[in-house]
Structure 1
Amino acid sequence: MNYEYNLEACRTGCPNYGLKWSCPPFSKVYDKLSEGYKYAYILIFSTSMDKYMDIKNKYLAIKAANSTLKSEIEKISRKIEEDQGGYALLSGSCRLCKPCNKKLGKPCKKPDKMRYSMEATYLDVSSISKELLGHELKWYTKNCLPEYTSTVCTILVNNKLNSQIISNLL
């Protein structure tokens, strides 16, 4: 984990930096969040962009695909977290309150439900996905859709999860 590199990437590349309680520099480091948990399960949801070809604006197509994936993976991650007494690192910044109270100079309204993303805890999600799971993350570039898009979450738990638990949720 390269804390300084990831912090700088967030500071210079993310519009949420310093504006959401779930984002750097307010987020916690993965090593601290994972203390007390034995296992980290990584979930990746992916979809082919072919399914979104009817949306003419490519940027809106990728937004629609990512929104669908994030909604589904968050539902499942939070359910596993709840059932197993764990903690989920979700995909992207927290979306529970709009706007985030940080933008209003106020404390978080839902600190017990607010979750960080893997990126916000200074993990290199692209490397983790590729090196541990053999899944390369693809990115949208101006007017050019990737072949597929993916979203990634981690669930920290103390009990081993069996495939039946996850398949029941899917």
Structure 2
Amino acid sequence: MINYQTGSLLKKYHNIPITIHFKQVKLKIKELKPYLNPKKFNTYCEACPNHSQKWTCPPNCPPFDDYAKDYSHITLYLFYTSPNQFEKAKNKDKALDAYNFIKEELQNYLREVEPSTGKMIAANSCELCKTCGLVDEKECYMPNKMRYNLVAFGFNVNQLMTDLFQHELQWATKNQTPNFVSSVGAILKK
């Protein structure tokens, strides 16, 4: 059984207090390998508008084994929150507001805790530049800040969250708001 740490943070969204719950788990990299299957999961990326439009997205993402070769451990971070806290927000899509908020908060947190001897795995595709250098037929404009994400490497994030965090992903539909939205990222460590 995997032991993970839990907690919560209080943040503000347009002056509305928002509770973020988190879980984190430290693993040896080899313990994460059963969730890696780029041949299968990168095909799902083909429907995304970022596919082949960003240096951080398939087919441009390096193999995870190459990216993580200098590291022995990984700490996974899961942030999740209830969209119902966003009812007073300006946007009428509280699930989308909640998701964008939670992934941005996780992204900021990962950048803060990224050690000089480690490397962050982002919570989402790179959003550092308005237009990626790839679209302009150029190299990455910010290679020292750019980070890949678990999905781009080809991880089965749904199974990873279920097995390691006992946390099931929930999805919004046109007529139903999920109980919570989630985002996951990681830090590679030596």
Identify the TM-score tier after normalising by the shorter chain. 0.7 to 0.9
What residue ranges of structure 2 are gaps of 5+ in the alignment? Answer: 1-35
Counterpart of 1:15 (choices 49, 61, 86) is: 49
Matching residue of 1:116: 148
* Identity between Structure 1 and Structure 2 (%): 34
Where do residues 16-95 of structure 1 align in structure 2 (5 Å cutoff)?
16-55=50-89, 60-81=93-114, 83-95=115-127
The alpha carbon displacement at 1:39 in A equals 1.0
Are the equivalent residues in 2 in contact too, given 1:84–1:157 (CA < 8 A)?
A: no
- CA RMSD of the aligned region, Å? 1.7
The structure that is strand-richer by fraction is: 2
| Matched residue count | 155
Instruction: Tell me, in whole angstroms, the C-alpha distance in 1 between the residues paired with 2:95 and 2:138.
Output: 32
Where do residues 126-145 of structure 1 align in structure 2 (5 Å cutoff)?
126-145=158-177
Correspondence 1:150 to 2:182: yes
Q: Looking at both structures, which has the greater relative contact order when contacts are Cα pairs under 8 Å and sequence separation is at least 6?
A: 1
What residue ranges of structure 1 are gaps of 5+ in the alignment? Answer: 159-170
**TM-score between both structures, scaled by the size of structure 2:** 0.76
Instruction: Tell me, in whole angstroms, the C-alpha distance in 2 between the residues paired with 1:94 and 1:143.
Output: 30
Per-residue CA shift, 1:54-86, capped at 9, x if unaligned? 35865x3223212221222112211221x3521
The structure that is helix-richer by fraction is: 1
Instruction: Tell me, in whole angstroms, the C-alpha distance in 2 between the residues paired with 1:21 and 1:84.
Output: 22
Are the equivalent residues in 1 in contact too, given 2:111–2:120 (CA < 8 A)?
A: yes
Matching residue of 2:39: 4
The alpha carbon displacement at 1:2 in A equals 2.0
